[in-house]
């Protein structure tokens, strides 16, 4: 099955619809299946005095509040309508994570093929129930979550008629060091919950995402930026367009290389089979002479 690749634009548009459209172009050119944004109303999401996360302070400074930062990167509903149409014109799937109930109601009008639940809402039962009752496939991120919390969230989604559930292993650090990635946890989730799994990658580079595909990830999510040096909390842990394209190409090559699991002689090998193979040739043997290995 083809791996579903999500180019996570998030808020890397920096509050600009034009930048958002350029990210759509970059995702399409890279071969991603989908581009994902984040839909929120800042006043519904955080208080005006809420502090930034440490990684956000490192990337954007500590002077402004979380609210002020988010407000700066917030796209209006009207802009999202235009963005959705632009994705349709470019023939790339539009997806956006809703971070509040008003945004969920708004995004319902887009008739998205699937819904993405962010790590921070995994214990928000009313949120999970509302998403589940939309009866669409759900992708669930699990950064900062315990296995019990993941199991409970999956149970809530199933009990409330969610479509197919895919759980993404995720390390909520930006960028995440390789020592904290623990890709085998993705396999533990698959075995423990009996669901499809994937990987939301916040490391620098593309190695971890490619390794996740080799381990069986069905979904890969990776941040995309136009320029890592742009102002904003997520640019440094994102891929630039050329890097995103290289990642997608590598994933497609790995899909081919994994094959179907059946050990068999390949067609090309059949054509050259006789060339490297050894042959046995007998020495002169008289009629009725008893054969032995010495005669080879």
Q: What is the CATH classification number for the domain harbouring 165?
A: 3.20.20.70
Of 67-81, 212-226, 267-281, the least confident: 267-281
Neighbour-count burial of 22, counting CB atoms closer than 10 A to its CB (0-12 exposed, 13-18 middle, 19+ buried): middle
Tell me which residue of 81, 64, 71 sits closest to 20, measured CA to CA: 81
Q: Is residue 251 part of a domain?
A: yes
pLDDT (tens digit, 9 = 90+) per residue, 238-284? 999 999 999 999 999 999 999 988 988 777 665 665 566 676 667 77
Count of alpha carbons within 13 Å of 170, Cβ hemisphere only? 25
Q: Report residue 286's pLDDT band, with 50, 70 and 90 as the boundaries.
A: confident
Average pLDDT score over residue span 91-95:
99
Q: How many domains does the chain have?
A: 1
Tell me which residue of 101, 199, 195 sits closest to 150, measured CA to CA: 195
CB-CB contact of 169 with 183 (8 Å):
yes
Separation of alpha carbons 63 and 48, rounded Å:
13
Q: Is residue 150 part of a domain?
A: yes
Tell me which residue of 240, 1, 221, 190 sits closest to 116, measured CA to CA: 221
Separation of alpha carbons 16 and 140, rounded Å:
27
Separation of alpha carbons 290 and 230, rounded Å:
85
The model's pTM: 0.88
Question: 296 versus 150: which is more confidently predicted?
Answer: 150
Q: Is residue 38 part of a domain?
A: yes
Residues contacting 60, CB < 8 A, separation 6+? 52, 69, 231, 232, 233
User: Is 43's pLDDT higher than 70?
Assistant: yes
The predicted structure's pLDDT at residue 280:
67
- Return the beta strands (E) in the chain as ranges: 4-10, 34-39, 93-98, 115-117, 138-141, 165-170, 196-201, 219-223
Average pLDDT score over residue span 119-145:
97
Domain that holds residue 131: 4-263
Q: Is residue 269 part of a domain?
A: no
Q: Is 202 helix (H, G, I), strand (E, B) or coil?
A: coil
Are β-strands 219-223 and 4-10 bridged in parallel, bridged antiparallel, or unpaired? parallel
The predicted structure's pLDDT at residue 52:
54
Peptide bond into 229 cis (omega under 30): no
Percent over 90 (pLDDT), the chain: 73
Q: Is residue 272 part of a domain?
A: no
The predicted structure's pLDDT at residue 251:
98
The predicted structure's pLDDT at residue 79:
98
Q: Which residue has the tokens 């891929």?
A: 239
Question: 63 versus 73: which is more confidently predicted?
Answer: 73
Tell me which residue of 35, 39, 43 sits closest to 81, measured CA to CA: 39
Average pLDDT score over residue span 44-72:
71
Q: Is residue 287 part of a domain?
A: no
Question: 64 versus 80: which is more confidently predicted?
Answer: 80
Tell me which residue of 222, 242, 238 sits closest to 230, measured CA to CA: 238
Of 66-75, 116-125, 132-141, 225-234, the least confident: 66-75
pLDDT (tens digit, 9 = 90+) per residue, 183-211? 999 999 999 999 999 999 999 999 999 99
For the chain, the average pLDDT equals 91
């Amino acid at each position: 099955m083809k791996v579903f690749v999500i180019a996570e634009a998030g808020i890397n548009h920096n509050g600009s619809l034009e930048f958002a459209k350029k990210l759509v172009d970059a995702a399409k050119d890279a071969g991603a299946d989908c581009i994902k944004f984040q839909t929120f109303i800042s006043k519904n999401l955080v208080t005006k005095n809420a502090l930034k996360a440490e990684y956000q302070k490192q990337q954007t400074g500590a002077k402004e509040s979380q609210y002020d930062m988010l407000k700066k990167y917030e796209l209006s509903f009207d802009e999202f309508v235009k963005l959705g149409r632009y994705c349709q014109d470019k023939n790339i799937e539009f997806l956006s994570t809703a971070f509040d109930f008003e945004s969920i109601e708004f995004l319902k009008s887009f008739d998205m093929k699937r819904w993405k639940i962010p790590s921070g809402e995994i214990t928000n039962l009313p949120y999970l129930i509302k998403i589940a009752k939309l009866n669409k496939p759900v992708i669930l991120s699990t950064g900062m979550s315990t296995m019990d919390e993941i199991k409970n969230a999956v149970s809530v989604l199933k009990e409330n008629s969610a479509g197919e559930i895919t759980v993404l292993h995720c390390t909520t650090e930006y960028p995440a060091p390789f020592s904290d990635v623990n890709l085998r946890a993705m396999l533990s989730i698959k075995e423990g919950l009996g669901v499809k799994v994937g990987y939301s990658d916040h490391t620098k580079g593309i190695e971890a995402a490619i390794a996740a595909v080799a381990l069986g990830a069905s979904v890969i999510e990776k941040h995309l930026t136009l320029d890592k040096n742009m102002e904003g909390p997520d640019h440094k842990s994102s891929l630039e367009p050329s890097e995103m394209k290289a990642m997608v190409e590598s994933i497609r090559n790995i899909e081919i290389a994994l094959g179907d699991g059946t050990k068999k002689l390949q067609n090309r090998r059949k054509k050259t089979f006789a060339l490297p193979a050894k042959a046995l040739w007998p020495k002169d043997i008289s009629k009725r002479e008893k054969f032995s290995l010495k005669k080879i």
